[in-house]
Structure 1
Amino acid sequence: MRTVQHLKARGKQAAVWLVVILLVMIGGRIIYGNEDNQDTLVFLKTSLTNENNTPATYMKPETALDSDEVQGRESLSESMGFLLLYAVEADDESLFEEQYQLLLDYFMDEEGLIYWKIDSSGHPEVPVNALVDDLRIVKALYAAGEQWNKPKYTEAAAQAGHYVSRSLTYQSTLVDYSDQSSGGTAHSLTLSYIDVEGIELLQQQGHINQDVYDTTIDVLEKAETKNSFYPKTFDISKGTFAYDEEINMIDQMITANNRLQLGIPSNALISFIKEEMEQDGVLYGRYTPSDYEPVVDYESPAVYGFLIMYAIELKDKELAMQAYDRMTAFRSNHVSYRGGYSIHEGNTHIFDNLVPLLAVEKLKHTGWM
């Protein structure tokens, strides 16, 4: 015969489980939001990591027709930058140290050059670096050095920053890339490459002078939208901006985030984005600027990830969560790909996984989920 105390205990237990169920149903973001990045990290480790532990760009080892394009299992400094930034954001020193060692072993030479891509076995194919990737890595290294009091991270940041200052300027302006084999540099600057925080660090640490800082930032400040969209590049020799005939929304969102670092909002672009999401519930990957019509039928989780980060800076919770809900619709629950984003025919691009990884981590710190 059950006692009164036993029945009361069972009642309390049932009440606890009821609260848990309600939390899952009503505030599912709270519970799943703390697990989804772990799922994504496991997916990255199992499906997008080469035997030498470098991050692979695609799941499948396909070969592109153009050697300048990224091959299937090649590894990019872009991926290293996002992984390092995520580790800092997540306060994961172990992950950062692992990626730091890979950076030194495979990507960064003794001069401070960071190869923009290496093959799956870790060999650099061309001695070319990319400004945007270098800036992300430099930012992450300096932040880690301060966060964990590790001088070796700061020293590596200084080495890479010094190489940027030596190799990536033209007419006192930072440029897209340099090629060590030819000794040449680009004469153009892509607006999505102008990472203001990274460039400010270069200036503060003495790697670039005030003139280089001012002329580079001036490009971003002077860029004007045409039909709500920013130009793609700036020709330094001609002093002119170039606008794409098809708008890449990843470029647009990164440029908007860069300008927001200067305190400049992108009202026209964000108005278009909000209207598009309210009307269709989605934001496509490419648009025609003349009529605002999508020219592709696909979406990119990375676009939503950058939109989340933009909304966080604006303290726009509604926009951030709207972008989060749409972004996570592309996150797989399949047993073979759990945590991975945009899996199509057993393949995905690592960029569409790393940007959401960082965005979700930043979103957690807002307390909005």
Structure 2
Amino acid sequence: MKKKLQAVLLILTIFILTGCSSQENKVSVPNGDSNFSKRSHYGNYISNEKNLRHFIENKMMTKKGIFTNYKKQSYKKSVARGHELLSESSGMWLEYLAYTHQYKKFREFYQATKKTFDQKSQFSYRYTPTTNKKFDVNATLDDLRIIRALQMYADQTGNKTFKNEAARRFMSLQKNTMSNGKIASFYDVKTKKASDDGSLAYYDFSTLKYFESTSEQNKKMYKKQLAVVQNGYLGDAFPLYASSYNWRSKTYSNSDLNTSEALETLLHLSEIGKLKQVSLNWLQDQVNRNTLYNSYSINGNVVSRSHSAGSYALAAMIFAKQGNKAMYQKAMKLTWKYQVKNKKSAIYGGIGIEHQNEAYSYNNLTTLLAAKY
């Protein structure tokens, strides 16, 4: 009798554990395609793109990921540089492979990305090859970009495995970094804490909207997320958005704006038809005058008068999403000015500073993506 009772209890335990596991592993997969792969086809930069792609594949690419900078630089704890690898770069490259239908390369590179950055619930934002160090935190936008790329691949190929992978990844990311409208800039897998700050550039609305379409609760979450960004608007005099929102103090940041991050915010709004006309007008003026500088105060004063290919490439993406072919091509013309034309240069074909042999992955990959918009 005792043995029978033990057997029954064992079966019940297995049943309960299996039930809990299936509940935890249940993934809500959105219906239909995402439209992430939709393009304007305004760009026709065959030669520029070919040379840039060749530079990235032959001078920046490794088996584990893409160099942050072509130039070797000493290690710096506060910021990735030199031959460190970023999940940001891997996500961008995956998007490009999806745009260009390079499906075998996509599958291979995604496996490499997982091997380098995977932390099960998220991707580490940074990896240092010399010490084999994977950082404990992610960058939520980088995760969303990889998830978007996975969905692009699934849409184009009809591959259910990748569709489920994208949905599972989103669910895991959501659990740690999203709540009540909040999108934390990062989550630390060691301390198991999310940041109090949420960068407004990290609210990738088209991706959020697609994956949060699976329930009424998620749809409410999306509305709150949109409100967080829209309420960070700085005003018509300088029609950009605050850099971040602090959920502890319930205040928007007064810090200077990094232009590439500010434009990421505009791009995400443009992708869902929520970009203000006054913001678009401001951006057109800067591109027309070639005065899209790298940093501004929240009052609109120029903090840094340097320029960035990445910022002009982002502007091109925004114009493409707005259906403005002329402005897209004008922005791309300014972007390609940063491409190294000297065939004797070590960074020929890349976007960078020739005399310093510097070519950052962000500028190169953003330009490459913009060419496909």
Query: TM-score, with normalisation over the residues of structure 1?
Result: 0.81
Counterparts of 2:211 and 2:276 in 1: how far apart (Å)?
Answer: 25
Query: What SS is found at the alignment partner of 1:337?
Result: coil
Give SS of 1:229's match: coil
Question: Which residue does the alignment assign to 2:12?
Answer: none
Q: How many angstroms apart in 1 are the aligned matches of 2:233 and 2:43?
A: 42
Which residue in 1 is equivalent to 2:138? 129
228, 231, 244: which is aligned to 2:242? 231
Among 311, 315, 321, the alignment partner of 1:307 is 315
Residue 234 of structure 1, CA deviation: 1.1
SS of 1:35's partner is helix
**1:139 aligned to 139, 144, 148, which one?**
148
Shift of 1:162: 2.1
1:332 match: secondary structure: coil
AA aligned opposite 2:284: K
Paired with 2:43 and 2:211, the residues of 1 have a C-alpha distance of: 39
In structure 2, distance between residues paired with 1:31 and 1:85 = 16
C-alpha displacement of 1:41:
1.3
Secondary structure in structure 2 of the residue aligned to 1:129: coil
Determine if the alignment matches structure 1 residue 296 to structure 2 residue 308: no
Q: 1:35 aligns with which of 25, 29, 47?
A: 47
Q: Deviations over 1:114-157 (max 9, x none)?
A: 11111126934322112101111111101211211223322321
Distance 1:207 1:71 in 2: 42
Q: Which has the higher contact order (CA 8 A, sep 6+)?
A: 2
Are the aligned partners of 1:173 and 1:213 in contact in 2 as well (CA < 8 Å)? no
Question: Which one-letter code corresponds to 1:360 in the other structure?
Answer: A
Letter in 2 for 1:340: G
1:277 Cα deviation from its structure 2 partner: 3.5
Aligned-pair distance for 1:91? 1.7
What's the counterpart of residue 326 of structure 1? 334
Corresponding residue for 1:194?
203
1:204 deviates by 2.9
Task: Name the structure 2 match of 1:356.
Answer: 367
Identity %: 18
Partner Cα distance (1:126, 1:82) in 2: 19
Q: Any conservation in 2 of the 1:139–1:201 contact (CA below 8 Å)?
A: no
What secondary structure sits across from 2:134 in the alignment? coil
- The worse-fitting range, judged by mean Cα deviation, of 78-87 and 350-359 is 78-87
1:263 aligns with 2:273: yes
Q: Is the Cα contact below 8 Å between 2:87 and 2:124 reproduced in 1?
A: yes
Give the alignment partner of residue 125 of structure 2, picking from 100, 116, 130.
Answer: 116
Give the corresponding residue for 2:84: 74
Pairing 1:286–2:295 present: yes
Which segments of 5 or more consecutive residues in structure 1 lack a partner in the other structure? 1-29, 363-369
Cα distance change, pair 121–203 in 1 and its aligned pair in 2 (3 A): farther
Q: Matched residue of 2:132: which SS? A: coil
Deviations 1:15-46 (A, max 9, x none): xxxxxxxxxxxxxxx99711222211110122
Query: How many Å separate the matches in 2 of 1:153 and 1:200?
Result: 19
* Count of residue correspondences: 327
* Structure 2 stretches lacking a partner, 5+ long: 1-41
Q: What's the offset of the Cα at 1:241?
A: 1.6
Q: 1:224 to 1:333 in 2, by over 3 A?
A: same
Structure 1 residues 56 and 207: alpha-carbon distance in aligned structure 2, compared to 1, 3 A threshold: farther
SS at match of 2:138: strand
**Equivalence for 1:242:** 253
SS at 2:304 equivalent: coil
